[in-house]
Amino acid sequence: MKRTYLKKASRTSQSDAGETSKTVAAILADIETRGEAAALEYAAKFDKYTGNVELTQAEIDAACARVPQKLKEDILFAHDNVRRFAEVQKGTVADVEYEINPGLIVGQKAIPVSAAGCYVPAGRYRHIASAVMTVTTAKVAGCEHITVSSAPQPGEGLNPAIVFAAHACGADKIMALGGVQGVASMAFGLFGQPKANIIVGPGNQFVAEAKRSLYGRVGIDMIAGPTDSLILADKGADAHIVATDLVSQAEHGYNSPVWLVTDHEPLARDVLSRVPDLIADLPALNRENAEAAWNDYAEVIVCANREDMAATSDEYAPEHLTVQAEDLDWWLNRLKCYGSLFLGEETTVSYGDKAAGTNHVLPTSGAASYTGGLSVHKYMKIVTWQRASREGSKQVAEATARISRLEGMEAHARAADVRLAKYFPDEDFDLTANG
């Protein structure tokens, strides 16, 4: 497949991975050894925060009172959409019971984990929507205890709207702890909370690496690190809207890649010429982030046709994938690797990020090649069970005994032997490995 890069990235999500991994390992080990005292020291070091970590009910009430009414209504609108979509998704997992052989019944149950730890990023921006996405889905899944941990601002603590969102969506505990110290405190059960069974939520490279390192001891939703986005656009796409959408996701941070893939070079050149002005027009922090992301991480790729565009996109496996091209059904059918798909110019990643109802906690750095984003299913354990009548036990016992013996697992075989001997004392069975 021939691809022409009109713009090629000098850095990727793996560029700083080694350094990040070392930093995070040291912090995790320290917090595991020294507990809350170490977590508080890192809060002071990284966030210049020495205030209260566990929010009291009075602090929650005071924060909620500071949120403007219109913003509360918007947050509740987003919550309602996320909740209703989560409920529909939950309905797709059913407990089942199946008589697989006469008298032998097998089944599946979906059991929610007890304790969920939801990380809500708040370093560069106030990610109110992340509180909605994580807490609402945990609540719909049926988790008994939900903790939110989020980065405090120096001298101020948590953003009031994040507190309102976490509280309104159903958090049982809210902590002012960011980054690795927030994730570690939820995983180790510090500050009076139950140890989390699963840690979910997005964050920067330190948060994503902390979750990755703790995985196994605790469940995680997925690697949801620095945001990335890809737009597939054909000759009919509106260059101004494509450029605006690229910039909208480059503002996340200096390490947020945005990629444009097209089969129409004039569109690519038009978009390339528009992006710098759109970035220059942003407020200072957003401009700095978007400029760095655009310069170092962005790519503009021209392909020969739509099939090559789709194949390129699947290779990148972006977190957000937008299609601004004709024949949307063809794309929906063809594309295989993405966290969330935005079909057509009339929708945009920002809708999904904030309020449309699909979850914005999504796989990054290519993780969309093997997983989808956060949903109720991530909090639910699909477990199995079985029971049998004595008749139902017969055939499976014989097969079990012979397979076990052939494997050399004599004790397993005898667990089947004793049942056959007890339930069918008058029958002879050849239970040897060669039987």
Ligand X SMILES: O=C(O)[C@@H](O)CS(=O)(=O)O
Ligand Y SMILES: NC(=O)C1=CN([C@@H]2O[C@H](COP(=O)(O)OP(=O)(O)OC[C@H]3O[C@@H](n4cnc5c(N)ncnc54)[C@H](O)[C@@H]3O)[C@@H](O)[C@H]2O)C=CC1
What are the residue numbers of the active site?
Answer: 319-320
CB of 338 to ligand Y, least distance (A): 13
Question: Site residues for ligand X, window 112-131 (CB under 6 A)?
Answer: 127, 129
CB of 178 to ligand Y, least distance (A): 2
| Token digits of residue 174 | 């809210």
Of 242 and 362, nearer to ligand X (C-beta) is 362
Q: Tell me the number of residues near ligand X by CB under 6 A.
A: 10
Query: Contact between 306 and ligand Y (CB under 6 A)?
Result: no
CB of 247 to ligand X, least distance (A): 13
Residue 76 CA to residue 137 CA, distance in Å, equals 14
| Token digits of residue 177 | 């702890």
Query: Contact between 252 and ligand Y (CB under 6 A)?
Result: yes
Query: Contact between 237 and ligand Y (CB under 6 A)?
Result: no
CA atoms within 13 A on the CB side of 271: 34
Query: Contact between 353 and Zn ion (CB under 5 A)?
Result: yes
Cα–Cα nearest to 42, from 216, 221, 206: 206
Residue from the set 193, 256, 289, 375 that interacts with ligand Y by CB under 6 A: 256
Residue-level length of the chain:
435
Asked whether 260 and 238 are in contact (CB, 8 A), the reply is no
| Rg value, the chain, Cα | 26
CB of 296 to ligand Y, least distance (A): 14
Query: Contact between 319 and ligand X (CB under 6 A)?
Result: yes
Residue 23: which of ligand X, Zn ion, ligand Y, none does it interact with, CB under 5 to 8 A by kind?
A: ligand Y
Residue 297: which of ligand X, Zn ion, ligand Y, none does it interact with, CB under 5 to 8 A by kind?
A: none
Of all helices (H) and strands (E), which one includes residue 411? helix 410-423
Asked whether 243 and 273 are in contact (CB, 8 A), the reply is no
Question: Site residues for ligand X, window 185-204 (CB under 6 A)?
Answer: 202
Largest CA distance in the chain: 89
Residue 232 gets which letter from DSSP?
E
CB of 161 to ligand X, least distance (A): 13
Where in 39-85 does DSSP place strands (E)?
A: none
Query: Contact between 117 and ligand Y (CB under 6 A)?
Result: no
Of 172 and 228, nearer to Zn ion (C-beta) is 228
Query: Contact between 319 and Zn ion (CB under 5 A)?
Result: no
C-beta atoms surrounding 60 within 10 Å: 18
Residue 151: which of Zn ion, ligand X, ligand Y, none does it interact with, CB under 5 to 8 A by kind?
A: ligand Y
Asked whether 218 and 199 are in contact (CB, 8 A), the reply is yes
C-beta atoms surrounding 399 within 10 Å: 12
Of 136 and 227, nearer to ligand X (C-beta) is 227
Query: Contact between 289 and ligand X (CB under 6 A)?
Result: no
Q: Annotation-wise, does 412 bind a ligand?
A: yes
Q: Annotation-wise, does 289 bind a ligand?
A: no
Residue 392 CA to residue 397 CA, distance in Å, equals 9
Cα–Cα nearest to 299, from 3, 83, 4, 7: 7
Q: Annotation-wise, does 181 bind a ligand?
A: yes
Query: Contact between 361 and ligand Y (CB under 6 A)?
Result: yes
Of all helices (H) and strands (E), which one includes residue 112? strand 104-112
Residue 294: which of Zn ion, ligand X, ligand Y, none does it interact with, CB under 5 to 8 A by kind?
A: none
Where in 121-257 does DSSP place strands (E)?
A: 145-150, 173-176, 198-200, 219-220, 229-233
**Residue carrying the six token digits 């978009």:** 271
Provide the annotated binding site for substrate. Answer: 227, 249, 252, 320, 353, 407, 412
| Contacting residues toward Zn ion, per CB under 5 A | 353
| Contacting residues toward ligand X, per CB under 6 A | 127, 129, 202, 227, 249, 319, 353-354, 360, 362
Provide the annotated binding site. Answer: 119, 181, 204, 227, 249, 252, 320, 353, 407, 412
